[in-house]
Amino acid sequence: MCGIIAVTGRPDAARVLIQGLERLEYRGYDSAGLSVTDGEGGIVRVRVAGKVNELKAAWNSREAGSCGIAHTRWATHGPATEANAHPHTAGRVHVVHNGIIENYRSLREATTKAGATFHSQTDTEVIAWLYAAALEESNDVVDAFQRTVRKLEGAYSLAVMVDGEDDLLLGARRGAPLLAGFDDTAGYLASDPLALAGEAQSLIFLEDGEIAAVRPGRVDITDLTGRAVTRPVQPAQLSPVLAEKGSYRHFMEKEIHEQPEVVARTLGAYVDQVENTIRARDGLDFSKASRLLIVGCGTAAYAGEVAEYWFERIARLPTEVDIASEFRYRDPAFLEGDVALFISQSGETADTLEAMRLCKAAGLITVALVNTAHSTMAREADIVAPTLAGPEIGVASTKAFSCQLAALACLAVRAGIERGHLDTASVTDHVAQLMAIPGTMSEALRADGQIDQLARDLSRSEIVLYLGRDQYFPMALEGALKLKEISYIHAEGYAAGELKHGPIALVEEGVSVIVLAPSDSLFAKTRSSIEQVRARGAHVLALTDEAGAEALEGLVQASILLPAARGAANLMSAAVAVQLIAYHVAVHKGTDVDQPRNLAKSVTVE
């Protein structure tokens, strides 16, 4: 949700902090700030209401010391103002925080009665006042920090520095990601390993209820009572090159074009090409499953809805898809033999994580489909199903979504094998379809120029409707979501067969309708839906193949030609098209493509 980075033992601390914030800005960009030792026994703090480049300008390369903390914010408590920007201070304490402190009001009332004067509307400032008060009672800065953290309820990751402790950083986590890093001469804290790419040599991922004391070259971890904790040390594997746009205008554009490569990488984790099959996953036996529950948020939920068609059709496995926030609170009824699969790019999505914990407590087998190997969901799930999209910086998910679809398609085939619904010839055919996906997506990218031209007119639309049938219905929902997210055009996705049950009332002269219309067994019915909206004056754009375009000639304003393919490959070429439509429309509208308003990449609070 927000981004944290902290460093000690680096003479270029401010540079490391600002560079880290630039990489973390996908997590929040309403405001930003940093506090750095000034080399003379004090700490200098600079904050802005705005993005990291504005903080960089405000900092203006001033001299500073070797220890500091920094933050880029997505507003929760209080609007995006300089006063609400992190770090927050009280006494000797400077603190940055991701998450929400649920008992903030009672803590604020207590600290105010004790003499605290608040300067912001955030819940974070109360942490600074609590710790400042604890330091007045104890000379042990770590013990005072532990006592402070024990008073907090809710989700948080914290990075703290104390005036007079020039080489010490303190971190704590509960329900929001935090990791520590180190090398021979420096120490780090961050909310995402991407922030430390090219800096730290080794990483330690904190668990809930743990505190890190970070000094140059050293990280000590304890629980909230002060008992020492040992955590595995992981090599830092990310390259700083991964955070660069290269020749592309936006990260989203780059990530759309990376999809053939990263989808191929993901398929390689599931497909055994020598044996022409899908590898089994330890601990996961679909033959014993009575039902598959799929849970996610936003784009991840739409990936699950696509997969529902696949699991039921290929494996005859009853499947239900839920939005995580609704699943948690509707008191779901479980069946014996239920398997629950949770989809999250970050592996930290708060609602999805809590839904997984609910299922785990009920005794269900839990599967985490995640892009982040060391995330909380990956650590807590019974089984991890990886996606290998690499870091995704653009807030609107593209390559992570495609890798989720690729992994789900593989799992559906594996389920069909284990449940006895696929013979050897069928498995071989499904594997061939799966391995065709990267090439099909690469071919679909050739429509980029045509889509760019068509997007100019679409960018002037006030409303855009997406229609699809079968597996293309959730893809229509995803297409509408992408357009909403980055162009701010009111877009809706519908099942094409539902037109006469209400949505057709929205169609009038000039309304734009985008129809996913592959020349498959349902093409005639899709064509009928096109005729219905065309008769009412809609401006129709079809996403189809050569045969479909020929059949629709004269009926639609334009057809975007996609490669003819089978199964998941056909669907995923359509994914490329709806992503490119959203991207180019947003560019023509002049919106902030990578950092759309009010959104953040990883939502780690409810």
Q: Are strands 539-544 and 88-90 parallel, antiparallel or unpaired?
A: unpaired
Q: Which helix (H) or strand (E) holds 408?
A: helix 399-418
Rounded to whole angstroms, the Cα distance separating 168 from 216 reads 8
Closest CA to 8 of 146, 183, 172: 183
Interaxial angle between packed helices 299-315 and 472-487, expressed in degrees from 0 to 180 and rounded to the nearest 10: 170
Provide the phi-psi class of 295: left if phi over 0, else alpha when psi is between -120 and 50, else beta: beta
Q: Which two tokens stand for residue 247?
A: 């020749």
H or E element, residue 509: none
Residue in 51, 399, 482, 601 annotated catalytic: 601
Helix (H, G, I), strand (E, B) or coil at 550: helix
Q: Is the peptide bond before 87 cis (omega within 30 degrees of 0)?
A: yes
Q: Which spans in 25-60 are helix H?
A: 52-59
Q: Is 601 noted as a catalytic residue in this protein?
A: yes
**Of residues 2, 67, 359, 410, which has the active-site annotation?**
2
C-alpha neighbours within 13 Å on the C-beta side of residue 381? 31
- On the CB side of 556, CA atoms within 13 Å amount to 27
What is the rounded distance in angstroms from the CA atom of residue 511 to the CA atom of residue 597? 25
Nearest to residue 5, comparing CAs of 124, 238, 239, 177?
Answer: 177
The pair of three-digit structure tokens given for residue 157, joined into one six-digit string: 């990751």
**C-alpha dihedral (312, 315, 320, 322), degrees to nearest 10:** -110
Q: Give CA–CA dist 415/407, Å, rounded.
A: 12
Please say whether the beta carbons of 102 and 126 come within 8 A: no
CB 361 within 8 A of CB 561: no
- Return the structure tokens found at 147: 């006592």
**Distance between CA atoms of residues 547 and 537, nearest Å:** 24
Residues 58, 92: contact at Cβ < 8 Å? no
| Conformational region of residue 299, where left means phi above 0, alpha means psi within -120 to 50, and beta covers everything else | alpha
Catalytic positions, written as ranges: 2, 601
